[in-house]
Chains A and B, each alone.
Chain A
Amino acid sequence: MDSWGQLSGQFAVASVANRGEDEKGFLTKATIEKVPDKVLLHIFSYLSHREICKLATICKKWRQTAYDTRLWSAVSLRPEISGLHVSNLESLLTLISVRFGASLRYIELPIELITHHVFHELANKCPNLTHMLLDFSTAMQLHDFSEMQAFPTKLKYLCICLSEVIFMEGFMRKIYNFINGLEILHLVGTYEKVEEEEEEVYEVINVHKLKAATPNLRVINMYGITFVDDSHIEAFSSNCIQLECLAVNFCNKVTGSCLKTVFQRSKGLKCLLMNQTSLQSQHLMQVEWEKTAIQELDISATDLSTECLIDMLTRIPALRYLSAGQINGFNDSVMKAFMEQGNPRNIVGLDLDASDNLSDEAIHRFVSKYGHQLQALSLSGMPHITDQLWQAILPIIKNIKIVIMGTQERLGVNIHVDQLMDGIANHCLQLERLELRWDPENLRFSDKSQKAIDILRVKCLKLRALGLSDGRYYEIVKANFERADRNTVVRAITACRVSTYYILQNYKELIFN
């Protein structure tokens, strides 16, 4: 027993030696401790910040790697996002200088951490901080900013989640001097929280003062803010001459009365998103569309008249993206006028969700002519658009990247989804995102469906998202993809929605929250 013990002891010594060779001349096996620091950092970069903090307690080398500032360039301190729960303001202040430092580029702060101490540290210790999100949405009251004297000066992107009732001026007036380099501004409102229409609406942020402080804005997004109306948009356009992209989705007080002036001032305005606003036809018809540079337009869920739509679409020089779903006035005559007198030759994205008054013939005619250049197409929310039309147009839309089909309303007919999948696999090889909104009871498939799904999976290699209504067919497709280890592709549409916005040129800058 003794001699065996000695022998194994000798072998143990031999294998601990640094990448030495054992008796037979082979390199001894590597362990995680042999991995160079740069590679350990690479491994850590795949883990969440919360995990990384835990890893610091493993051993000295791991602690050193966990504290490497390169892992901390984009940090969210909102617990609901990152799981990081800052319990101690003092320790945060130390961290800013030691852990984040010059690597920090993006930070998210919840209301408890929006204090002048934090801003002073960020201003002094993080010279590369260019993106910031401030979440005031759950605020009960504002901290005292009277002693604030420093604030990050290199910000290019600022997202402010507004509260319903807290007035922001006490904070905003302290930062106006620091934010004139801002290029992208997001103001996120609380329209989702409003329960009754008659609730008092507070103008919690002073847009007129804000616009004076931010002349370099290119992208402005005011999302779901109940007090925003045309005067606010006009205010921004009076000072922000570089404006390229303006989004006011869900701002229901906006009527479009400012647009004539806005376009006259902002000659570079290319993208205008006004989903679910209160646009009025007479205002939109006043705009000198011929002189604008507009390329991307979202007017969905508004009450524009047929006359107005025809007027707009025949005068806009070259539209690249049009979202005009849920408009009663959008009927066949509009489509006809657009094709014959308008200019659809640059169109790459078309979203006609729930366009009840558009016939399938009109859609077919349009897609036959322009389908080959489309990258995004949504014909959802229309019971009369079934797999029949889709089968006819799939061979045309060869370059399509995003497709949304189907409606959640129950149909009288059934959708032959196997043939549909087959068609998609054979024609739409560039497909990246697909969503089928039909009710699972309306989907008709057979025991050949596995083959159709296989073909789709194998041919559409760029497919990264496939949304289906939760039901039997969803289970089958999900299982099929999971067997092939493509686990993240298939989603239930209650959890995840596909949007045509991905093809907007400013998409990356429009992402918020």
Chain B
Amino acid sequence: MLEDLGMDEDDEEVVPLPNVNSPILKKVIQWATFHKDDPPPPEDDENKEKRTDDISSWDADFLKVDQGTLFELILAANYLDIKGLLDVTCKTVANMIKGKTPEEIRKTFNIKNDFTASEEEQVRKENEWCEDK
């Protein structure tokens, strides 16, 4: 993130963070402090199967928060470019999605269905190709 802003690591300049409020920033710092000695994450191997069952117990505990906080953390991790935190929060959301029906997913995340009846029918048809016989 500092690179993106064109700043040097040694500068004494104040870094503006208008998109991150202080309670969230506190949590981000807490995560980063715990993980400060982590080895750098491996290069994303294109063919590697992406797993969601390898979230450590500390992280799982850390992320036992309400949805609002979880998504604030995702936004903060994205803005501050913290790959490890972004990965683990996204995996957590993926785990919340797995196995649910579309209606259950809409309910869990409070998503409005903005399809008309005919649009919805069309989308269903578009995805018929991959359904069980």
Contact = CB atoms under 8 A, between A and B. Distances in A.
Given A59-B112, A485-B55, A30 B126 contact: no
Contact of B109 (A27, A31, A87): A31
Given A29-B68, A91-B128, A46 B114 contact: no
Interface stretch (A47-55, A222-230, A412-420): A47-55
A43 B113 contact: no
Interface in B47-62: 47, 50-57, 60
Interface stretch (A33-41, A200-208, A275-283, A311-319): A33-41
Given A30-B71, A30-B75, A95 B129 contact: yes
B63 interface: no
Given A31-B71, A46-B90, A58-B105, A485 B56 contact: yes
Given A29-B69, A35-B71, A60-B114, A46 B78 contact: no
A26 interface: yes
Nearest to A47: B94
A138 interface: no
B115 interface: yes
A50 B53 CA distance: 18
Contacts of A31: 67-68, 71, 109-110
Q: Interface extent on B, as a size class?
A: 35 or more
Contact of A105 (B46, B55, B60): B46
Interface string B77-106: 010000000110011011001100110011
Interface in B25-59: 46-47, 50-57
A46 B55 CA distance: 13
A59 to B, nearest CB: 5
Nearest to B22: A26
Nearest to A84: B130
Q: Interface extent on A, as a size class?
A: 35 or more
Given A43-B90, A60-B114, A32 B109 contact: yes
Given A30-B68, A47-B94, A85-B133, A35 B110 contact: no
A487 B97 contact: no
A57 interface: yes
A228 to B, nearest CB: 27
A105 B45 CA distance: 13
Interface centre among A32, A44, A83, A95 (most CB of B within 10 A): A32
B131 interface: yes
Contacts of B1: none
A218 B103 CA distance: 50
Contacts of B101: 54
Contacts of A46: 50-52, 90-91, 94
A88 B50 contact: no
A44 B94 CA distance: 7
A85 B71 contact: no
Contact of A85 (B66, B105, B110, B130): B130
A42 B90 contact: yes
B124 interface: yes
Contacts of A57: 102, 115, 120, 123-124, 127
B5 interface: no
B111 A487 contact: no
Interface centre among B52, B115, B120 (most CB of A within 10 A): B115
A366 interface: no
B129 A484 contact: no
Given A106-B47, A485-B60, A59 B86 contact: no
Contacts of B75: 30, 34-36, 39
A160 to B, nearest CB: 19
A27 B75 CA distance: 13
A60 B111 CA distance: 11
B127 A87 contact: no
B93 A43 contact: yes
Contacts of A51: 97-98
A302 B86 CA distance: 51
Contacts of B69: 29
Given A46-B91, A55-B97, A58-B113, A26 B21 contact: yes
B71 A50 contact: no
Nearest to B91: A46
A59 B103 CA distance: 11
Given A47-B94, A51-B98, A58-B102, A484 B131 contact: no
Interface string A117-134: 000000000000000000
B128 A59 contact: no
B132 interface: yes
A42 B86 contact: yes
Contacts of B86: 39, 42
Contacts of B68: 29-31
Contacts of A91: 126, 128-129
A122 B47 CA distance: 19
A44 B105 CA distance: 13
Given A57-B124, A485-B57, A39 B74 contact: yes
A74 B71 contact: no
A73 B126 contact: no
Given A42-B87, A46-B50, A484-B57, 10 more contacts: A34-B71, A35-B71, A39-B86, A54-B127, A55-B97, A59-B114, A83-B130, A105-B46, A485-B57, A488-B53
21 contacts: A27-B21, A29-B72, A32-B71, A34-B71, A35-B71, A35-B74, A39-B90, A42-B87, A46-B52, A46-B90, A49-B130, A51-B97, A55-B97, A57-B124, A58-B102, A83-B132, A85-B132, A88-B128, A91-B129, A95-B129, A105-B46
